[in-house]
Amino acid sequence: MANLHFHYGVMGSLKSVSLISSEFNFRKTGVKVEVLKPSFDNRFSESEVVSRMGGPENMIRTPAIALPSLDNYSPKKDTKVLLIDEVQFFKPSDIDKLVKFADKMGIIVMCYGLTVDSNEHLFPAAQRLIEVGATLHLIESNCQKPGCLRKATHHLRYDKNRKLIREGEQFSIGDESYESVCRKCFNQAYYGKSK
């Protein structure tokens, strides 16, 4: 099994559910797992990975170590698997540290996150995962535009008045102002036409 993995998909593609499921299955067989997340992601919890699946009253969750970066982090001696949620919020140098954990310590590192922002730009951490040869796993989801059943590949970002945002911070928390869409619907909304 490859030691460095990147499970990626759009918002709402159940990436966190996949992470939580992996953590459950590893622990069930007695494998020592650590779950990490960027402290920047505090939407639902500061110390858990949380999935909205199940609705507001029954969200699925698992404990996690929240870190601003991996600069001062080292896995515990008996850790066999690292699961990292919202990996796009880490730095490229954090990805290089994950590579060392995988290659020098033999730890299975499984990252979950987005590849591109709402302006079609790669997140630096996602780009670094691709550059270092992480095994890529696409988690597919459908376009959220009514009646469209194409594969979602992009995000549209809106302000509180539902006006499309085309610039600003690459890192933003929250998904009530985002819509996961296919390339065709993205181009229609973002550029006013199909490219």
Q: Of 132, 113, 115, which Cα lies nearest the Cα of 123?
A: 115
* Degrees to nearest 5, angle at CA 144 with 143 and 147: 85
2-16: b (≥16 Cβ within 10 Å) or e: ebbbbbbbbbbbbbb
- Gap between the Cα atoms of 158 and 27, Å rounded: 39
Residue labelled with tokens 């229609």: 188
Give the β-pairing of 48-51 and 60-63. Answer: antiparallel
Token digits for 93? 């140098």
Catalytic site residue from 57, 86, 131, 167: 86
**Does the annotation mark 86 as catalytic?**
yes
- Gap between the Cα atoms of 72 and 81, Å rounded: 18
Q: State the catalytic residues.
A: 86
